[in-house]
Structure 1
Amino acid sequence: MALNIRQLEILDLARQSGHVSVDDLAERFDVAVQTIRRDLSDLSDQGMLDRVHGGAVMPSGVSNIGYDERRRMHEEAKSAIARACAAQIPDNSSVIINLGTTTEAVARELLHHRNLTVITNNMNVANILVANDSCEVMVAGGALRRSDGGLVGDLTIEFMAQFKPDYAVIGTSALDADGDLLDFDMAEVRVSQAIVAQARKAFLVTDLSKLDRSAPMRIISVEALHSVFVDRPLPAELMRRCREWDTRVVVAD
């Protein structure tokens, strides 16, 4: 089935932001919400979008969205989350930062911190923080993924095991409603688990579009984290669980 011009534009908007809403699209294209719902249903039937309440998201499944595309998604939210997280990391501390576009945003917010020791398996993070003369950057060994500059594998895990940092900053590909962090790549999952196990305090940085996505592999539960930095309040049930687990939730301004 060929797509009409409006459907092609809707698909392009979804690729840019990761999510589209029925009401916003109806206003943008000056058509009835029923028309937009039919468009989204057509795109969903062809596997191009996944329908969610009030709109649609890019399809979830067994593979992730391309790294450059993820970097462009929710940029303002990621920046706000990164500022909130970086504010909780003091000068003269040590931190492990793993893979992800939001963790890269945290690295940029740490550029003016003093006397940090940063351990990372993310070449993009290393390249950002090398500009901070007072920051010691230590890069893990392992197999380099050209797609996102990540280092993964047994060598990476062995490297991380040598450290006991004050903080770990991790991202996630998806966040389940029960509080599980999910990912698409087993090698990346194992490194993330090792990082959290080594840190005195583990921080998750994620925008809540991740609640609209799914991935097949479990990293850890939010229960294992000290803090979660998000762009808007968590759903009530997940917020209740965080209080039970004594996991702090910080909503970025």
Structure 2
Amino acid sequence: MKRTKSSRQTQILAELDSSPSLRVAELARRLDVSTETIRRDLDELTTQGLLNRTYGGAVRPLSSEPSVTERHRLYVEERQRMARAALKIVGDGSVLMIGSGATTVHVARRIAVEMKNITVITHSFGVATVLAFNPTIKVLMLPGDYHASEGATVGVHTVSFLGNFYADYAVTGASGLAADGPSEALLECGAVYTAMVARSAKCVVVADHSKFDAIFPSRYAPWRDVDALVTDAAPPDKLAMALRQSNVELVTAS
């Protein structure tokens, strides 16, 4: 029995509640309709402000993102590949700044396995925890207000403390990747990432394909301040052009 458009779109929103990022092909399979039908549904729901269209799918609306615990369950294999690719870039660093997020924790886990005798400055408890397995890595935990859903410290004290340090690399995640730069759903985390980028010689952004063309409130850096983007798929044309124009190294860990 074919679903009505209303029931189909209700089901799409229900799926979005349990999985914060949806792919067109997967939705078409689940709902037994064509990908063209799903794209029309997503366009209508976007117009209504109920979701945001991305390259190949949809995400939750602007400024809405699941907790870091939820995000850890998504794109695990992709993030593992991205982490290995990121290590090839930052592996020569001796001081790193690492932002919060699910993907950056994967990067930190690879750092704990492959690097030694370095210093990592972070506001993420998840990053600090996985680095603790390597006793040769010195972890400097940033002070600040604890943000429970992100598992990280944020606020004026966090940003101010960062001003005392320099790093070889800043490694940050992103809620969205648009033509004018990476953005973050949490304003407080965006402020921390901006400070990390400013205090580091180079910046590496690690973010999966579900972030393509998504825009969130805090654009924490223009692409000209980013040295490399590590992702798991080729970005859409507009984003790819913006990366080329800003001389951002694109590393696709596919």
Q: If the length of structure 2 is used for normalisation, what is the TM-score?
A: 0.84
Aligned to 1:20: 23
Moved more, 151-160 or 183-192: 183-192
Alignment deviations for residues 15-47 of structure 1 (CA, whole Å, 9 cap, x no partner): 3360221x4433345445576567657866886
- The change in CA–CA distance for 1:236 and 1:35 in structure 2 (over 3 A counts) is closer
Answer whether contact 2:170 2:204 (CA < 8 A) is retained.
yes
1:122 to 116, 121, 124: 124
Between the aligned partners of 1:26 and 1:92, the Cα distance in structure 2 is 44
Gaps of 5+ in 1: none
Between the aligned partners of 2:241 and 2:23, the Cα distance in structure 1 is 28
Aligned to 2:73: 72
Answer whether contact 2:93 2:169 (CA < 8 A) is retained.
no
Q: Secondary structure at the match of 2:235?
A: coil
Q: Report the RMSD for the aligned CA atoms in angstroms.
A: 3.0
Between the aligned partners of 1:11 and 1:212, the Cα distance in structure 2 is 22
Alignment deviations for residues 197-226 of structure 1 (CA, whole Å, 9 cap, x no partner): 111111111112112422122211111011
Tell me the number of residue pairs that the alignment of Structure 1 and Structure 2 aligns: 250
Trace 1:79-228 onto structure 2 (pairs within 5 A). Answer: 79-90=80-91, 93-112=94-113, 113-176=115-178, 178-228=179-229
Aligned to 2:3: none
Moved more, 149-158 or 8-17: 8-17
Gaps of 5+ in 2: 1-5
The one-letter amino acid paired with 2:90 is I
The one-letter amino acid paired with 1:138 is L
Between the aligned partners of 2:182 and 2:96, the Cα distance in structure 1 is 20
- The change in CA–CA distance for 1:139 and 1:37 in structure 2 (over 3 A counts) is closer
The one-letter amino acid paired with 2:196 is I
1:57 aligns with 2:58: yes
- The change in CA–CA distance for 1:142 and 1:53 in structure 2 (over 3 A counts) is closer
- The change in CA–CA distance for 1:238 and 1:134 in structure 2 (over 3 A counts) is same
Between the aligned partners of 1:196 and 1:52, the Cα distance in structure 2 is 26
Q: If the length of structure 1 is used for normalisation, what is the TM-score?
A: 0.84
Quote how far apart the aligned CAs of 1:64 are.
2.3
The one-letter amino acid paired with 1:174 is G
